[in-house]
Amino acid sequence: GAGVSQSPSNKVTEKGKDVELRCDPISGHTALYWYRQSLGQGLEFLIYFQGNSAPDKSGLPSDRFSAERTGGSVSTLTIQRTQQEDSAVYLCASSAQRGGGETQYFGPGTRLLVL
């Protein structure tokens, strides 16, 4: 079966430009997460979507970052006016909401480089 997919796999952009990163979760998974992984660092939580509930945006580092999830499936993370410090791997994960717990399944990530 298909896992979590992300596109593009790599993105190089110039400082000040906007970028959009896409995540396709596992079919049927109601929860979707975005994380950022900087070089040599662990994963930093960004945002969480669960079903039709309001997203938990508490991890977004600035108002340049936003995300949406359309139709409870595909999600797009948008970074406006990119800065060099935004360079990182952006990882998406999804999980099924079950009473017994939620294993998060990760996609391969989008490697963003801001020049």
Partner 1 sequence: QKEVEQDPGPLSVPEGAIVSLNCTYSNSAFQYFMWYRQYSRKGPELLMYTYSSGNKEDGRFTAQVDKSSKYISLFIRDSQPSDSATYLCAMSPIQGAQKLVFGQGTRLTINP
Question: Can you say whether the dihedral through the CA atoms of 34, 24, 97, 104 is positive or negative?
Answer: negative
Closest approach of Cβ 70 to partner 1, in Å?
Answer: 20
Which residues lie across from 37 on neighbouring strands? 43, 89
Q: How far apart are CA 24 and CA 6, in angstroms?
A: 6
* Interface of this chain with partner 1, residues 66 to 85, rule: CB under 8 A: none
Q: Stretches 13-21, 53-61, 65-73, 77-85: which one binds partner 1 (CB under 8 A)?
A: 53-61
Closest approach of Cβ 12 to partner 1, in Å?
Answer: 16
Is residue 41 within the footprint of partner 1 (CB under 8 A)? Answer: yes
Nearest to 80 by CA among 21, 23, 38: 21
Q: Are 102 and 45 in contact (CB under 8 A)?
A: no
Which residues of the shown chain bind partner 1 in the complex (CB under 8 A)? 4, 31, 33, 35, 40-45, 48, 50, 56, 58-59, 91, 93, 95, 97-98, 101-109
